[in-house]
Structure 1
Amino acid sequence: MGLVRSVALQRALADSGDLGLRALPDRVEDLLADLDAPPRLAAHLRAVHDVACQLADWIQRRYPEARFDRPVTLFGAATHDIGKIVHPDELSAPGSLHEQDGYRLLLEQGFTDGLARFARTHGSWTEADIEMEDLLVSLADKIWKAKRIPELEQLVVRRLAAASGQQSWQVFMELDDELDRIAADANRRLAFQAGHPILTPPS
């Protein structure tokens, strides 16, 4: 779209370090540039999006019966913390104000509720209408830094077991191994994120 991007933001969107992080969807990159997103936010979204890609790859390979919308899931991972543009203090301190405000921001930018919802659901996965896509975004947002949430993981296990007909304990063991594999790179992802500034340096 030819949007002007700061050097720091462009670096966060393009640099993969030694991780080989996948690029964000083009429309998400353009959105971050248009909203002058903090470079560290872009780096974080890239890390979580890449983990979501790994989870999606694994599920499609190991549990092809499990139905989920891959592009929607990856969009959700790429935008889940978009509300931190409104609440940049939550890039370095705990807070949940970004969740509802991120949802509203995406709606204001013309995205559908089905795409915008991840901004508000990624921090809560026990609601009645939570779908597999929401669970995967939430899981990616935890395991990227090696944080394990048993309740969340069990919800994913139940969905995969129901879809595949396998015993829950079998699914749990396989998922546990995959999460351990992904978590092994957590320190490198954290270092990648920390290498990008919260504020865009002045030109």
Structure 2
Amino acid sequence: MPGTDLLSRALGAPADPYLRALPEAVAALLRELAAPPRLAAHLRLVHDVAYELADWFAEFRPELTLDREAVLFGAATHDIGKVVHPAELSGPGSAHEPAGRELLLAHGFTPARARFAATHASWSDTGASIEELLVSAADKVWKGKRVTDLEDLLIDRLVRASPPGTERWEAYLELEGLLARIAGGAEARLAFQAAYPVHG
């Protein structure tokens, strides 16, 4: 079946540059749902960027408490509601956000994991966790988009976890270097995603 082949390729085809695989539980769910290949490709790309962000935060500021697995799961499922609202794969809309949360809950995932599907676009809400901020950042910077307000929130978290006397500009420069490097690969990531159709 062509759609199944395209979905399998989106989930596991080699890519240049290298792309990490999605968590197996997520890949299995996408297969079960017969997700559109474009959606699977997108989730894989955002997950890959989230992997880089989470690893960098853990290395640069190990004092910052961070649930790395939650970040990776959140990035891998943030748009899963577009299975229910496929028009939002190629057009605007936010109906996929609550739908994604409900879909994940219905498939046995915990509210703590399912929340990212509903919160990835609402990072400016008071009380967003560092995990939610990283998923939101991955969902922007994968395509080269930079969002100053979002990045400022990440810098705030870095500064709060820094040794006393650390200047904000130091955290800014470190994060800027990382995000600029990731954004520099946007063209290849956009090409990978565009190679997969919206409809299977």
Fold agreement, TM-score > 0.5:
yes
Q: Once superposed, which parts of structure 1, at least 4 consecutive aligned residues long, lie more than 3 Å away? A: none
Could you say which residue in structure 2 is the equivalent of 1:121? 119
Could you say which residue in structure 2 is the equivalent of 1:174? 174
Q: State the 1:47 CA deviation.
A: 0.3
Q: State the 1:129 CA deviation.
A: 2.9
Could you say which residue in structure 2 is the equivalent of 1:183? 183
TM-score, length-scaled by structure 1: 0.94
Distance across 1 between alignment mates of 2:104 and 2:111:
8
Where do residues 132-171 of structure 1 align in structure 2 (5 Å cutoff)?
A: 132-165=130-163, 166-171=166-171
Is the CA contact 2:58–2:66 (under 8 Å) kept in the aligned structure 1?
Answer: no
What's the % identity of the aligned pairs? 55
Which is further off, 105-114 or 124-133?
A: 124-133
Distance across 2 between alignment mates of 1:62 and 1:125:
22
* Residue of structure 2 aligned with 1:30, choices 23, 28, 34: 28
Which is further off, 77-86 or 63-72?
A: 63-72
Distance across 2 between alignment mates of 1:158 and 1:58:
16
Could you say which residue in structure 2 is the equivalent of 1:198? 198
Distance across 1 between alignment mates of 2:122 and 2:33:
26
Could you say which residue in structure 2 is the equivalent of 1:106? 104
Distance across 2 between alignment mates of 1:124 and 1:176:
22
Distance across 1 between alignment mates of 2:132 and 2:54:
12
Distance across 2 between alignment mates of 1:74 and 1:61:
16
Structure 2 residue matching 1:135: 3-state secondary structure: helix
Structure 2 residue matching 1:187: 3-state secondary structure: helix
Structure 1 residue matching 2:21: 3-state secondary structure: coil
Q: State the 1:89 CA deviation.
A: 0.9
Distance across 1 between alignment mates of 2:85 and 2:33:
13
Give the counterpart letter for 1:103 in structure 2. R
TM-score, length-scaled by structure 2: 0.95
Q: State the 1:126 CA deviation.
A: 2.1
Give the counterpart letter for 2:19 in structure 1. L
Structure 2 residue matching 1:96: 3-state secondary structure: coil
- CA offset digits 1:167-199 (Å, max 9, x no partner): 211101110111000001001000000001111
Structure 2 residue matching 1:6: 3-state secondary structure: helix
- 5+ residue gaps in structure 1? none
- CA offset digits 1:46-95 (Å, max 9, x no partner): 00000000111111111111111001110000000000001111111121
* Residue of structure 1 aligned with 2:61, choices 53, 60, 63: 63
Give the counterpart letter for 1:22 in structure 2. R
